[in-house]
């Protein structure tokens, strides 16, 4: 079972070019080719069993809870596409070796290319819808990188942005569609989905699913009206165009339609959308291609037209048309890749792609010219070449159409018209470039390219001929196999021979040839006619739209985010109110059935003090220090309430947090304006008061409703298992370090991140430092009074002793790493206050960032440690030991985890406070600036 390795090998191969770029360009290309080559060999080795009708399937659990698995699935269609991707990919690697100049970063280019190859292989081999989408988006991203490879060019950047926006947006639509499919079918597994076609088609949401999935496919395959990104993607290096824009990425949309053909096709809606889009794209692309003077522009529009043709075939709802679609996928990939490569050679050797200047190159590069001419003839549908065969099939199918009712005759006529233009632009490609007089003012004298640059083109052109002459032998089995997996059943009868006798399709081909040559001959008139129309530049329109969107967004953001904290709080509370009010109205009775506790005097006084403190803070908010004091009353009463209602751990934590918060607020107040201006007008006062009242009312109601209802919680489990399972009698601590250890780990990680974020914000901050207080009194010159300094210093060991005590007893009695960490922080901050930053800096050489990091590392490693004993992450271990003199004591791994928590808390708190404090010292940037 090597299926898994087929996408994995190229994925590993992405680093190969990056590592081997120093060995020179030829070796670089060689090394780069090895992983895809191995993958191709692997694929070929798996091919026989697929030809025997097997579907190879390999699956790994990814997120089983969400129904996601890493599934790879190889059937006929996937085999065909994987062969195209790897085969043409290898040719492109060889070609790019000669195409890129020494100035280009070739290793990077190859890395992007191989990444893209991985993504494409991932799409075609995915057996899971979400996984398919993931690779789908990866192709968008890697194609963005490839198109913008020459990022110094403005058009490359714009083209890449446009491609990413269009295909990325389509990808989002596709995700929505796939999620709906998964919802309807009940599984994201492709095999399950493919087997539930009827279920999907009869579901009420089918039109929505269809439109969403088709949006994804149409944007990727450049179908009208999303076709405009493809011509602009031509700013990419030509190997990219040969690979992405002919053979692979633009075929991803086609692949998607073919993949979901068994489940989504077969309805009126499918026919209407897919065939009409295909028809319009076919005609539009073919018509515009004729007028493009840029060689690659012509090929881009021709690609759009051919993609439209395939889409039209897929939308025709006859089984034979589907076979024709698969056949044309193969043919188009082969001739278009070779044409792009030829165009790249011409550009490379003559310095321009402008067909008004490129003339008569036959004399200069006969070999390349022959190859390009054969490929172009195949594109035009000349007999004995592969393009002819699929075009004949296409014509035959258009004749059988009845779905448009009495207007059905239009389909073959329009198809012939499209073919006429196709012949005309192919004729232009051949005649304008290789004949038609002498070259005009070329930057270089054209000559044949290096020998090996032609090899990929030769191989592809040889395939064009072989397929055109011996179709049954060369491609018959593969075509049958791929078509079977698209149709999901028996194949209709078809014949791959070149000669079917004189019939209507042959006549249509003949008409197309004749009409095309006539049009090309009279092209001057047509060009003059076309020049009357203004030519809109999609790039400018797109940029304009993007700019408009950006302006609109920033206008909205400016309205919401104007820097006023009051407004943020107002909006936040308003949103919370709106969200909470609904469920609250549904709740019928506020009062539950729980009997209430008796009211005692102490609690009552505490509650009154709490309310008074809160109200006083609001009323006194302009007197900064006083309101800080009233605020601390609130904090103290809350911690007393915790102690009163049997939550000593919370009380301790609240107390320490309160202290730290007060210091933080004092530090922050130093930098804020010394006096708060009176700015609220009466209307605003009423607005704010009513919002605050409403929020308070809602929160109060919620709390009241909560506490008057019997609570069915898992507390009982924790209480029972705390000692036996976690080895501690302090249930709160055991919950923190054991039962919910993962949560704690996440929380301290967030704390550490927040501290680092704050540090980053303030480390280079330049703040205005007031030299006097609000009343104009200068600060006291005695910054660090000796008595305070000496006493604080002598208190430090005592305080640290307390924190060690609190830490150690945490597992069995109120305490633990978090509280101990806060106590240590307070003790050290006390030193900062008493001695000043400069004094501490010389004595306490601790890097707080490292402290946070090592704390997290210790906590994480403790968690990982349990893996070595075959237990889940963060399972704690404990046992009892005895030592002489000390007696019996307990050791628990939870303690090490708690140490990690402790270090993180100390590091984070000090990182914030010490750095805020540092802003006031002579080392702060502001002070330096003043000097």
List residues near other proteins by CB under 8 A: 773, 775, 777, 780-782, 785, 787-788, 791-792, 794-795, 798, 802
- Alpha carbon distance 925, 930 (integer Å): 9
154 or 772, CB closer to other proteins? 772
**Number of alpha helices (DSSP H) and beta strands (DSSP E) in the chain:** 41, 4
Task: Label residue 520 exposed, middle or buried (CB < 10 Å: 0-12, 13-18, 19+).
Answer: buried
Could you tell me the smallest distance in angstroms from the CB atom of residue 919 to other proteins? 22
Distance between CA atoms of 817 and 828, rounded to whole angstroms?
A: 16
Minimum distance between the CB of residue 842 and other proteins, rounded to whole angstroms?
23
> Please, are residues 190 and 127 in contact by the beta-carbon 8 Å criterion?
yes
Q: How far is the CB of 646 from other proteins (least distance, A)?
A: 19
Q: Which is nearer to other proteins, 552 or 791 (CB)?
A: 791
Q: How far is the CB of 787 from other proteins (least distance, A)?
A: 6
Q: Contact at 8 Å (CB) between 642 and 651?
A: yes
Report the distance separating Cα 556 and Cα 520, nearest Å.
53
Q: Please count the CA atoms within 13 angstroms of the CA of 435 that sit on its side-chain side.
A: 7
Rounded Cα distance between 708 and 593, Å, is 6
The smaller minimum CB distance to other proteins, of residues 227 and 624, is found at 624
Quote the CA–CA distance of 210 and 217 in Å, as a whole number. 10
- The radius of gyration computed from the CA coordinates of the chain, to the nearest angstrom, equals 37
> What is the C-alpha to C-alpha distance for residues 849 and 861, in angstroms, rounded to an integer?
18
Nearer CB in complex with other proteins: 555/787: 787
Q: Which is nearer to other proteins, 536 or 781 (CB)?
A: 781
Least separation in angstroms between residue 632's CB and other proteins is: 15
Contact predicate 758/667, CB 8 Å: no
Q: Which is nearer to other proteins, 341 or 822 (CB)?
A: 822
Shortest distance, position 791 Cβ to other proteins, whole Å: 5
Give the phi and the psi of residue 881 in degrees, each rounded to 5.
Answer: -130, 165
Nearest CA-CA partner of 157 in 227, 235, 226, 243: 235
Name the 3-class secondary structure at 889.
Answer: strand
Q: Are 49 and 5 in contact (CB under 8 A)?
A: no
Confirm if 127 and 71 have CB atoms less than 8 A apart.
yes
Least distance to other proteins from the beta carbon of 668, Å? 20
CB-wise, 696 or 785, nearer to other proteins? 785
Question: CB of 568: closest distance to other proteins in angstroms?
Answer: 35
Q: Are 98 and 449 in contact (CB under 8 A)?
A: yes
Smallest distance, Å, CB 781 to other proteins?
6
Say if strands 878-883 and 887-892 run parallel, antiparallel, or are unpaired: antiparallel
Q: Which is nearer to other proteins, 124 or 667 (CB)?
A: 667
Nearer to other proteins by Cβ, of 443 and 887: the residue is 887
Q: Find, among 806, 805, 811, the residue nearest to 880 by Cα.
A: 811
Pick between residue 563 and residue 781 the one whose CB is nearest to other proteins.
781
Alpha-carbon gap, residue 83 to 255, rounded angstroms: 13
Residue 780 CB, nearest distance to other proteins (Å)?
5
What is the smallest separation between the CB atom of 679 and other proteins, expressed in angstroms?
Answer: 27
| Smallest gap from residue 728 Cβ to other proteins (A) | 21
- Answer positive or negative: Cα dihedral of 126, 132, 138, 142: positive
CB of 931 to other proteins, least distance (A): 21
Shortest Å, Cβ 829 to other proteins:
15
Specify the residue, 501 or 778, whose C-beta has the smaller distance to other proteins: 778
Q: Which is nearer to other proteins, 167 or 831 (CB)?
A: 831
Closest to other proteins by CB, 673 vs 785, is 785
Q: Is the peptide bond before 430 cis (omega within 30 degrees of 0)?
A: no
701: Cα separation from own chain's centroid = 42
Give the whole-angstrom CA distance, residue 798 versus residue 902.
18
Nearer to other proteins, 34 or 625 (CB): 625
DSSP string across 247-310: ISHHHHHHHHHHHTHHHH-SSHHHIIIIIHHHHHHHHHHHHHHHH--BHHHHHHHHHHHHHHHH
């Amino acid at each position: 079972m090597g299926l898994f390795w087929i996408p994995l090998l190229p994925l590993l191969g992405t680093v190969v070019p990056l590592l081997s770029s120093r060995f020179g360009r030829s070796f670089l290309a060689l090394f780069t080719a090895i992983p895809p080559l191995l993958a191709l060999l692997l694929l070929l080795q798996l091919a026989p069993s697929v030809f025997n009708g097997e579907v190879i399937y390999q699956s790994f659990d990814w997120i089983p809870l969400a129904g996601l698995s890493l599934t790879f699935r190889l059937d006929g269609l996937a085999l065909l596409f994987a062969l195209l991707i790897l085969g043409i990919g290898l040719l492109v690697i060889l070609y790019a070796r000669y195409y890129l100049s020494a100035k280009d970063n070739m290793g990077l280019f190859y890395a992007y290319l191989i990444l893209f190859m991985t993504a494409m292989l991932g799409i075609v081999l995915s057996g899971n819808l979400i996984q398919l989408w993931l690779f789908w988006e990866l192709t968008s991203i890697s194609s963005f990188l490839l198109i913008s490879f020459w990022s110094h060019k403005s058009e490359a950047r714009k083209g890449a942005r446009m491609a990413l926006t269009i295909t990325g947006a389509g990808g989002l639509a596709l995700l929505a569609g796939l999620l709906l499919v998964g919802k309807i079918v009940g599984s994201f597994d492709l095999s399950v989905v493919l087997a539930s076609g009827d279920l999907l088609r009869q579901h009420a949401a089918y039109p929505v699913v269809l439109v969403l999935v088709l949006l994804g496919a149409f944007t990727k395959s450049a179908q009208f009206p999303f076709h405009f990104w493809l011509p602009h993607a031509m700013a990419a290096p030509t190997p990219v165009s040969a690979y992405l824009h002919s053979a692979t990425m633009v075929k991803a949309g086609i692949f998607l339609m073919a993949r979901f053909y068994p489940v989504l096709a077969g309805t009126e809606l499918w026919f209407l959308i897919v065939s009409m889009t295909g028809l319009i794209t076919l005609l539009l692309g073919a018509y515009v291609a004729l007028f493009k003077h840029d060689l690659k522009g012509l090929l881009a529009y021709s690609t759009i037209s051919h993609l439209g043709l395939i889409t039209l075939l897929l939308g025709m709802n006859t089984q034979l048309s589907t076979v024709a679609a698969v056949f044309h996928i193969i043919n188009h990939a082969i001739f278009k890749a070779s044409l792009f490569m030829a165009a790249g050679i011409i550009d490379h050797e003559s310095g321009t792609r402008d067909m008004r200047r490129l003339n008569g190159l036959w004399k200069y590069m006969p070999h390349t010219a022959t190859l390009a001419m054969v490929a172009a003839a195949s594109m035009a549908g000349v007999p004995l070449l592969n393009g002819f065969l699929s075009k004949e099939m296409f014509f035959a199918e258009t004749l059988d159409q009845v779905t448009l009712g009495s207007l059905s005759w239009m389909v073959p006529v329009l198809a012939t018209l499209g073919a006429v233009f196709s012949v005309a632009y192919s004729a232009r490609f051949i005649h304008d470039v290789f004949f038609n007089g002498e070259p005009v003012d070329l930057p270089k004298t054209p000559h044949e390219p290096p020998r090996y640059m032609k090899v990929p083109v030769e191989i592809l052109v040889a395939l064009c001929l072989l397929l055109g002459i011996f179709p049954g032998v060369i491609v018959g089995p593969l075509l049958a196999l791929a078509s079977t997996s698209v149709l999901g059943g028996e194949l209709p009868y078809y014949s791959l021979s070149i000669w079917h006798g004189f019939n209507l399709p042959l006549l249509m081909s003949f008409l197309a040839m004749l009409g095309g040559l006539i049009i090309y001959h009279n092209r001057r008139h047509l060009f003059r006619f076309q020049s009357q129309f203004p030519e809109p530049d999609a790039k400018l329109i797109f940029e304009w739209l993007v700019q408009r969107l950006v302006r609109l967004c920033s206008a909205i953001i400016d309205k919401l985010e104007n820097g006023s904290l009051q407004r943020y709080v107002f909006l936040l509370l308003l949103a919370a109110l709106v969200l909470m009010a609904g469920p609250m109205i549904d709740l019928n009775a506020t009062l539950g059935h729980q009997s209430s506790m008796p009211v005692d005097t102490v609690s009552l006084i505490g509650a009154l003090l709490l309310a008074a403190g809160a109200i006083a803070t609001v009323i006194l908010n302009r007197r900064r220090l006083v309101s800080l004091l009233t605020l601390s009353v609130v904090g103290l009463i809350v911690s007393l309430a915790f102690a009163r209602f049997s939550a000593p751990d919370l009380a301790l934590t609240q107390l320490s947090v309160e202290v730290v918060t007060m210091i933080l607020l004092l530090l922050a107040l130093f930098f804020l304006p010394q006096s708060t201006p009176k700015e609220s007008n009466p209307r605003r006062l009423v607005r704010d008061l009513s919002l605050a009242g409403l929020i308070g009312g809602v929160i109060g109601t919620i709390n009241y409703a909560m506490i008057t209802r019997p609570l069915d919680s898992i507390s009982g489990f924790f209480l029972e298992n705390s000692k036996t399972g976690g080895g501690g009698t302090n249930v709160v601590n055991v919950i923190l370090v054991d039962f919910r250890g993962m949560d704690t780990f996440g929380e301290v990680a967030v704390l550490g991140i927040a501290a680092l974020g704050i540090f980053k914000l303030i480390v280079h901050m330049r703040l205005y430092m007031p030299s006097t207080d609000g009343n104009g009194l200068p600060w006291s010159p005695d910054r660090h009074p000796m008595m305070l300094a000496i006493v604080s210093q002598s208190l430090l060991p005592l305080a640290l002793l307390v924190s060690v005590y609190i830490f150690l007893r945490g597992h069995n009695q109120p305490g633990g790493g978090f509280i101990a960490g806060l106590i240590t922080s307070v003790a050290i901050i006390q030193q900062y206050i008493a001695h000043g930053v400069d004094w501490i800096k010389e004595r306490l050489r601790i890097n707080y960032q490292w402290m946070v990091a090592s704390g997290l590392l210790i906590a994480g490693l403790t968690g990982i440690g349990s893996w070595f004993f075959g237990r889940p992450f963060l399972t704690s271990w404990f046992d009892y030991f005895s030592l002489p003199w000390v007696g019996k004591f307990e050791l628990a791994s939870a303690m090490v985890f708690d140490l990690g928590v402790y270090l993180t808390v100390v590091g984070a708190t000090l990182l914030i406070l010490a750095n805020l404090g540092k802003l006031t010292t002579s080392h702060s940037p502001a002070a330096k600036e003043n000097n």
